[in-house]
Structure 1
């Protein structure tokens, strides 16, 4: 179990031998040849154990230990272990038991000392934390600590802390990536595309990555340690469900789909003023991952939703813009709203500043003093005054100034750009996990039992789609519908091929027309209901030869379509119908 150890000894040879023995066990060792040098090191570093030679030239070991405890009382004081050739003499001194955690007799073999350190470290705070970490991983099915890649290289303190919880990744195999500094984000983006690292969770140790990472880690927070353990375990379990081709793909679209699946999150924009685009997306994937998401949405693998709208600079495309009120005449921002005063006697109207003379109001036209509001004058409204050109206007104009290149754009001419969030569809999940329904040449085909109703779980049937529930309730039907009729799930064997050739919008249009034709044909027999991944047919009466009946209906419903959908059907089982009361 690695720890940080301070060795205090005036014998350089002894320090070299002991240091080498402890370092070979993975411990980090600092050395000091005097008490004063040790004091400076302890003030600036956290040590788990300090080994002190009792016979020091400047001050004996007991006095040195007392001095270290006194002067570092406000910092972390390591356990102090004395090394001496005369144990009885040292233990006979008053207060030795209170100062030293233990006393070891010299000479001591380096290997024996290393074993002693391992035992002792297990009893320290460091050791207790390490035991807690091992317990967390065992609870989540890990036989040993997960392997972590650190980006960039951690500081010495970070490395010691991480050694509590992770094993260093070697040979490319890893279970997570730890971001130690915010400056490592660019390096992390390059790393994500290598060796399947896009499926690994990002653990933010820097405290700066925020939602960009999958989980944050504050070393002092037990709750954070548990969250990290849960996240790494969740990613590992989801990776095991992925089809093999998605584990090490060089295709960015495959990488994005795989990441969203193992992370269990949406691909949603995160505000980031450090970038001209003002947004970034989770996962630290390459910048063109957004274009990949757009393409996947057009193919039906992602659902695209509006997230926000930004205005963009026409010169450099930056979204970092200063929005301001301006003078419509000269576009200066040096404007202010002023009350307008109307003098009843001479009918003069002007901004208040033109009437103001010290604490009095004097009409600039007739030089009459205005004393009584409502009798001498009133305030009919406000006017925008430009201090640059002197123009008066009733309303300000809106202008934009780019903070990156300084270009000014009028509000009427500014371009806008929407940003979107993306979420995996059920179709994408089936493809990712190898549960996609195969396309078949014949139509219609009765779907295999394995292609059961989407959302079905091991604990029982999932709720029916909301549209189907509403239609069943409208028809006055409940789970007894199977006593006289049938609920048919319709899927489309030609879906994948059509999307690949023509895009998702074309497939969706064909599906909508097919649904409309089928509903018109079977209006006397039941209802057609649209769903997200499949459609449904409610037959009010059970048909004797259902395959023949549907074959004819499906064929007629496709007559006017430019391409065939190859519809497939499945009769839903009684236990799948979970209609709310």
Structure 2
């Protein structure tokens, strides 16, 4: 240890170490480098994660940005003492998780003089420090076993007492720490598995231990956000398969609309809110087609995230974003605006107008200083003055030109102006530039970009409309059917979209077509009311209606009116039918009639549609 120990910023203060699974997150606010070294050494050896700060303002920033289990605060801290620091933090903390606050001081009496504020501390440890006392206290908070008799845990609801000032603890009432992982999360079933941001992402990114493509989302139930984060810092969620489909559970209350659950505002017994969110995400993930779950296309991921979260894509005003908005999703707003705009053009998202923003032609920012400025030199150093009209000589000028001391004297005829309304009036105002002395009654409006400093005249400024977005029926069908849905809507089909036994039958039909010219047609049958009927009647009854529709269709094909044999194959979201000895062009003229006849007798209208593919479409 050395007194020359250099304090690192809070973001860099924790060196890599082998942290035990039950290690606590501890903040030490102490201005003595020797005491810092001592506390960090003994706590790190026990497997705890320790952050060091050396003044009250740094401690306040650390408490705002992270969740800690224990906060050791020196009473006499530079810039902001421990009592004022704690009072300020608690005044703005709301319902966010709180650590166990421990006062470390050689001035116990001075601390106790602050009767109203010192009661916020859970413990007091007097100086000079007793290392064993600190370890015993931290072990008690962490619930560790194996302590010696002299350091055994006290009974529940009591506090260990220090030998030098045992009465100090008796004067401070107990306040139970509202630590999330011991409160809200403790009421969740033990079979839930979470990733922790940023710790797990720092440790696992790029490592072999990270979940692979097949289990990316399935291996976990959610992501716990344990430090302040932004959409940009959560970019890694979109780089690994499936992680963007997990609910974000905000433990620090700083994620805002990006969070699926703000756990910092939940009561201790409200773990069911998290469980319900996890279950909803799980059910909707299961409804996604494997093509979508495995897709590396950002547009597919964005649609899937909107669907799984059960929330439309909503914009919110934000001074922290160059675009002046953030969305309720862990993607930067510029990316959302670009991708969502394309999806809306293609009919997958329905836009809803939110706001019209001015945008910089240089950098695209919507953060501006909007100001009145001189039309001649563009300076904003303007002065507004009354405009006087002298009736007798008809002279008009700014009021400043008439002023001589405390009197008004016409600069043209030199006559004193004594009576407003009879000698003169003030028909308006005039704006005078203090830089170039140009005068005008109407200044220009100018925009100065706060990001790049570019200036744009008001009549030349660009605008950008920002929208919220919701999924269309087309998007939901695509998410549930996968890439085969696009083949259906674009009348394009790939063998990879088809069930295996249908591919075998198609190969045989193609062989006959090549050898003998025997025509065939492949039908892809879509049910537009599939989701609606599943909700109304249940999946089992809907499946029965699909089966009856195919049976009716098969019987129609077997009649003399159509004269074709049909092989039907059930798909995941679509059904398929292979018609032998059928001219696909002739059949296309009959589809509407066949759909109406096959639907007769069913309990409800399936709203079936049929796409027809011939040999030329498939090979």
Q: Is the 8 A contact 1:203 1:214 kept in 2?
A: yes
- How far residue 169 of structure 1 moved from its aligned partner, in angstroms, is 9.2
Q: CA deviation at 1:218?
A: 0.7
Equivalent residue for 2:349?
Answer: 302
Structure 1 counterpart of 2:416: 369
User: For residues 54 and 265 of structure 1, do their structure 2 counterparts lie closer, same or farther at Cα, with a shift above 3 Å needed?
Assistant: closer
Q: CA RMSD in A?
A: 5.0
Partner of 1:231: 277
Correspondence for 1:242 among 283, 288, 294: 288
Indicate yes or no: 2:314 matched with 1:216: no
The structure-2 alpha-carbon separation of the partners of 1:125 and 1:3, relative to structure 1 and needing over 3 Å to count, comes to farther
- CA separation of 1:253 and 1:38: change in aligned 2, threshold 3 A: same
For 2:592 and 2:435, how far apart are their aligned partners in 1? Answer: 73
Shift of residue 334 of structure 1?
1.2
For 2:192 and 2:210, the matched residues in 1 are separated by 8
Aligned residue for 1:177, secondary structure, equals strand
1:326 aligns with 2:369: no
| Aligned match of 1:152 | 198
Which deviations, in whole Å up to 9, do the C-alpha atoms of 1:99-136 show, x marking residues without a partner? xxxxxxxxxxxxxxxxxxxxxxxxx9989955x75655
CA distance 1:238–1:453, change in 2 (3 Å): closer
SS of alignment partner, residue 321 of structure 2: coil
Deviations 1:293-316 (A, max 9, x none): 223222221113332222222223
Which residue in 2 is equivalent to 1:194? 240
Contact 1:310–1:319 at 8 Å: present in 2 too? yes
Aligned to 1:452: 529
Distance 1:405 1:240, change over 3 A: same
The 8 Å contact of residues 340 and 379 in structure 1, kept in 2 or not, is answered as yes
SS in 2 for 1:291: helix
The alignment partner of 1:255 has SS state of: helix
Quote the offset at 1:319 in angstroms.
2.1
In structure 2, the partner of 1:351 is 398
Distance (Å, rounded) in 1 between the aligned partners of 2:253 and 2:412:
65
The answer to whether the Cα contact below 8 Å between 1:309 and 1:419 also exists between their aligned partners in 2 is yes
Q: Which residue is equivalent to 2:449? A: 402
1:46: how far off?
8.2
Paired with 2:169 and 2:347, the residues of 1 have a C-alpha distance of: 67
Distance 1:359 1:366 in 2: 18
Provide the C-alpha distance between the structure 2 equivalents of 1:47 and 1:219, rounded to a whole number of angstroms: 23
Task: Show the counterpart of 1:279.
Answer: 325
Cα distance change on mapping 1:254 and 1:446 into 2, 3 Å:
closer
Q: Distance in 2 between matches of 1:409 and 1:336?
A: 22
Q: 1:335 to 1:567 in 2, by over 3 A?
A: farther
Q: State how far apart, in whole Å, the 2-side matches of 1:415 and 1:239 are.
A: 40
Instruction: State the aligned residue count.
Output: 393
Which of 321, 324, 336 aligns to 2:383? It is 336
CA distance in 1, matches of 2:139, 2:530: 60
TM-score under structure 2 length normalisation: 0.52
Residue segments in structure 1 that go unaligned for 5+ positions in a row: 7-14, 21-27, 79-123, 138-143, 155-167, 462-549, 556-565, 577-581
Q: Which residue pairs with 1:161 in the alignment?
A: none
**Deviations along 1:148-194, whole A, 9 cap, x unmatched?**
2122129xxxxxxxxxxxxx997752221222223564442123230
Matched residues in 1 for 2:133 and 2:175: separation?
Answer: 10
2:315 and 2:325 in contact (8 A); partners too: yes
Q: Tell me the distance in 1 between the aligned counterparts of 2:599 and 2:199.
A: 55
1:508 is aligned to none
The answer to whether the 8 Å contact 2:180/2:264 transfers is no
Cα shift at 1:434: 3.0
